[in-house]
Amino acid sequence: MTLGSLVGSIDLSAFLNALILGISIASIWLIAALGLTIIYGTAGVINMAHGELIMLGAYSSYTLQHFLGVPLLLCVPMSFVVVGAIGLVLERVLIRYLYRRPLDTLLATFGVSLVLMQGVRLIFGSDPKYLAMPHFFTSNLQLGFLNISVFRLLILAVTMAIVAALWALFYRTRFGVEVRAVMQNKEIAASFGINSDRVYMLTFALGAGLAGIAGSLFGVLNIVLPTMGAGYVVQAFLVVVVGGGTLAGSVVASGATGELQSIFAYFTNDTFARFVLYVLIVVFLRIRPQGLFAPSATRR
């Protein structure tokens, strides 16, 4: 098939819908990766339990909605608080003793992921749960030949709001200055009165809370299961690694990978699209192992 015949065979409306779907995929991957980006970028912790924190966000929303009658739109911020509190306890009880011990942290958080998964299975069972979506969000917006899901637009809006809030937090507040100081040199930051222990605690809780928001939103898109976190954490790790562990890098990496998968899926199928995307990511990391945006300073 020649290039001209390939271009001529493209259905413009279907292709544009695929591009919009790519933005939706990118927003989902980004919101899953944001908490992981913050935890890794600040403390250098590879949190293998991040998928289970996403799962806890979904189960938090399920509990709030089905047992307390809380509307879905309120379940999302409440899941942030619930999972953020769990993350804070986890950091105080375990993670704080393992900083600068990457292998131990990796194994410990993997063990935590198994404990959380089995604990949820014991409490809620293994049967699938469902989050009820408000009727308005079940509809689609028809803009000419473009067909857009209202709920996916909500996810995109939430993602943009979170990214803007995080940018303001890290670059326009005293807390953000403290975080960046601790990232660059923990000892020098301490000499200026910055409590690195407090910074690590709050950033880990923040990252866990963002995972809770992700789980609350993902629980509407898919069924809620104790094993659901594994389906998102791989994509989250890919976004963080390709982006170089920075907030800006994660935004760009999620957008690029989401659009590429959607375009490849348009021409082939979703399974082959993921295969091609993963191959391209491996090749990219072979050429540029530091990712798109390498951190401006080395963590000490």
- CA 201 and chain centroid, separation: 19
Residue 134 confidence (pLDDT): 80
14 has pLDDT over 80: no
Q: What is the dihedral of CA 279, 214, 223, 127, to 10 degrees?
A: 110
Residue ranges of the alpha helices (H) in 44-71? 50-68
Residue 291 confidence (pLDDT): 85
Percent of the chain's residues with pLDDT above 90: 39
| Average pLDDT of span 11-16 | 72
| Average pLDDT of span 286-293 | 86
For 110, the enclosing helix (H) or strand (E) is: helix 102-124
- Angle of helix 196-221 versus helix 72-93 axis, rounded to 10: 140
| Average pLDDT of span 71-98 | 93
1 has pLDDT over 80: no
Give the single-character DSSP code of 228. T
Q: What is the pLDDT of residues 141-150, one digit of tens each?
A: 777 666 777 8
Highest mean pLDDT among 3-7, 142-146, 169-173 belongs to 169-173
297 has pLDDT over 60: no
Asked if residue 221 lies in contact with residue 56, where contact means CB atoms within 8 angstroms, the answer is no
Mean pLDDT of the chain: 86
pTM, full prediction = 0.89
Q: What is the pLDDT of residues 89-129, one digit of tens each?
A: 999 999 999 888 888 898 999 999 999 999 999 999 999 99
CA 71 vs CA 133, 152, 279: distances in Å: 9, 18, 42
